[in-house]
Structure 1
Amino acid sequence: MTPKRQLWLIGGTQESREIARAIARLKLPCLITVTTQAATHLYEPSPQQHILVGKLNPEDLQSFLLEKNIAAVVDASHPFAVEISQHAIAVTRDYNIPYLRYERPVSVNSHQSSVIRQRDRTGRRGDGEMGRREDREVGAQCLRPKSQSLHPEPQIIELDSFTTLLQRNYLENQRTLLTVGCKILPRFQPWQNRATLFARVLPTVNSIDIALKAGFTPNRLIALRPPTSPELEQALWQQWQISLVITKASGKAGGETLKRTLAQQLGISLIIIARPPVAYPQKTSDLNQVLTFCQQTLNPPK
């Protein structure tokens, strides 16, 4: 028996929980997908909503949309979970199913004067040897101990990718805390002998196993599920005598705003990796627009 037409909410984030609550209040049928069992605890029980746990492969999406009778898609996945977004965009385009991306608001930087934005070598800045030398000089200034700094404040550096970070000397001789998730940690393995690296990962066997295989020793790992309080975050940085923190541009919900604030307060430099570019057909950061989209696509005017 084919289920009635329903929404597909790509979840697993704090924002998706708020969206799910709002959809439930409208009594609209909705299927929520998450990748881990732990993420199911984000959502409150609702007779109109069902949760599906597991990773959806691209080859499964066509049958998934048809079997679940999906009428519209709200993508509230993590800003760095680009694979599911790209696959969902492609399959909904093929089947002419409305798609809306809920984009987590970016953090507002209150210290704009101390932000340095740098591009990959393929961008205008950093082309050629002169550009690479400039990047090295800027990076060295940003990460110089505060007493030697040419700037009155620690630097917040925004980079376009992990590739840019790892190809340059930002990590050299730094006591660096990585708050970037476990999947990217293997790429830092070549730096284990050139910097003192610490990592915060989720408290799961898989996350810890990936970190250990990437060369992180147990005394340089902490398994903790966010969000963390400002007090705990500060204590961790000070306990490990951190001089540099690497994070993602994950917005306030992902702890980026807190890290910006602590970096300024403690005199610790912060590198923020930009969100991967995705060509979303349409997107919003307004919950009311999401709800209007859900109502109009699920119950279009006759």
Structure 2
Amino acid sequence: MVEISSVPPIADCSKTLWLVGGTQESIQLAEAIAALQLPCVVTVATPSAKRQYPISSTFRVEVSRLQPETVSQFLQQAQIAAILDASHPFAVEISQLAIAAAEAANLPYLRYERPQLETGMAADLCLVDSLTTLLNSDLLAQQRVLLTLGYRWLADFQPWQARSTLFARLLPSVAALEAAIAAGFTPDRLIALRPPFSIGLETALWQQWQISQVVTKASGAAGGELIKRQVAQQLGVKLIVIQRPAIAYPRQTSCLTAALAFCQQQVQIAL
């Protein structure tokens, strides 16, 4: 939960916050922002994501894939006064777009970066610095591999279909399933589920498919990484974790309460 301070609600304000959404933490922040009646627009990538956010007279959610040539118009039309970037740690393009937009328009920017897990030295944990590094190695050779990376990266694994037995877990969407099939995955090697996933469900799936390796992103506890680590250790499965991309955020925090305080402060300044 995000702690809401004693700052009074603000309903009448011509300046608006831009919350870059797409994560569980952004939903928590949105609920707190809506409760405080801070004017805010949140952008998400899909209609299904939009349905997870609150409804409020001072709060709206837009399904939008902003581009460098459209972001300036968005800032002006929405009367954005500050940007809180709570997107996924691997959503590089939207974070870079928000940073560039903040610099161009001289707007306050804060990145909420979910905490990373301790690296540790477990024998079943393998860290790689990028997808390219993994694909150019022999780590996956002759293995039964479960990919939990999202559908946009599946095409990169197509050359590996002949060198290993690949499985993929996806969100239940037409786009995800079509991308997986185009990348060479057969229906019997796909499962479409929406997180979160319990330890029991992870364990049962890995055992059912006789998985020897799992590939995931360093998405933190909120992204299910901790549960995967626990199941990997329990089953003796190698967990390959792709580390987060290095982004030079102008200002960042891993505290939800500090992120909310930033929103309150910026709306007060804009009054």
Q: TM-score range by the shorter chain?
A: over 0.9
Give identity over the alignment, percent.
Answer: 55
2:58 to 48, 58, 81: 48
Paired residues of 1:103 and 1:284 also in contact (CA < 8 A): yes
Question: Matched residue pairs, number?
Answer: 259
Partner residue, 2:214: 245
Q: Does 1:218 align with 2:218?
A: no
1:301–1:12 CA distance, 2 compared to 1 (3 A): closer
Alignment match of 1:235 (pick from 204, 207, 211): 204
2:128 to 159, 162, 165: 159
Q: Specify the alignment match of 2:121 in structure 1.
A: 113
Higher relative contact order (CA 8 A, sep 6+): 2
| 1:138 matched residue in structure 2 | none
Pair 1:38-2:48 in alignment? yes
Distance 2:63 2:14 in 1: 20
> Cα deviation per residue 1:225-278 (whole Å; 9 max; x = unaligned)?
111121111110000000000000001111100000100011101000001111
1:172 maps to 2:117 = no
Partner of 1:140: none
Once the two structures are TM-superposed, the CA of residue 25 in structure 1 deviates from its matched residue by: 2.2
Q: Aligned residue for 1:199?
A: 168
1:220 counterpart letter in structure 2: R
Using the TM superposition, give the Cα deviation of residue 4 of structure 1 relative to its aligned residue in structure 2, in angstroms: 1.5
Given residue 195 of structure 1, which amino acid in structure 2 is its aligned partner?
S
1:9 aligned partner, one-letter code: L
1:264 counterpart SS class: helix
Write the distance in 1 (CA, Å) between the matches of 2:248 and 2:187: 39
Per-residue displacement from partner, 1:140-170 (whole Å, max 9, x unpaired)?
xxxxxxxxxxxxxx42011100111010100
Report if aligned partners of 2:172, 2:193 keep a CA contact under 8 Å in 1.
Answer: yes
Partner amino acid for 1:300?
I
Contact 1:14 1:42 in 2 (8 A): no
2:178 is matched by which residue type in structure 1? D
What residue in structure 1 maps to residue 25 of structure 2?
Answer: 15
CA contact (8 A) 1:12 1:42 kept: no
Q: CA RMSD in A?
A: 1.3
- Structure 1 alignment gaps of length 5 or more: 115-153
| Structure 1 residues 53-73: Cα deviation after superposition (integer angstroms, max 9, x where no partner) | 121111100010011100000
1:109-148 paired onto structure 2 within 5 Å: 109=119, 112-114=120-122
Q: Which amino acid aligns with 1:51?
A: V
Report the AA paired with residue 203 of structure 2.
Q
For the residue of structure 2 that corresponds to 1:59, the secondary structure is coil
Question: 2:81, 2:270 within 8 Å by CA — same for their partners in 1?
Answer: no
1:259 maps to a residue whose letter is K
The answer to whether the aligner puts 1:82 opposite 2:92 as a matched pair is: yes
For residues 68-88 of structure 1, the C-alpha deviation after alignment (integer angstroms, 9 at most, x for no partner) is 100000000111111010011
Equivalent residues in 2 for 1:217-296 (5 A)?
217-296=186-265
Q: For 1:226, what is the secondary structure of its paired residue?
A: coil
1-structure distance, mates of 2:241, 2:14 = 43
SS of equivalent residue, structure 2 residue 197? coil
Taking the aligned partners of 2:65 and 2:121, their CA distance within structure 1 comes to 42
Q: Which has more radius of gyration?
A: 1
Aligned to 2:4: none
State the TM-score, normalizing by the size of structure 2: 0.93
Displacement of 1:293 after TM fit? 1.0
Give the letter for the 1:272 counterpart.
V
Q: Tell me the CA shift for residue 108 of structure 1.
A: 3.3
TM-score by structure 1 length?
Answer: 0.83
How far the C-alpha of 1:9 sits from its partner, in A, is: 0.4
Tell me how far 1:301 sits from its aligned partner: 8.7
Decide whether the 8 Å contact of 1:189 with 1:214 is kept in 2.
yes
2: CA distance, partners of 1:191 / 1:28 = 49
In the alignment, is residue 184 of structure 1 matched against residue 192 of structure 2? no
Give, in angstroms, the shift of residue 52 of structure 1: 0.5
Note if 1:98 corresponds to 2:67.
no
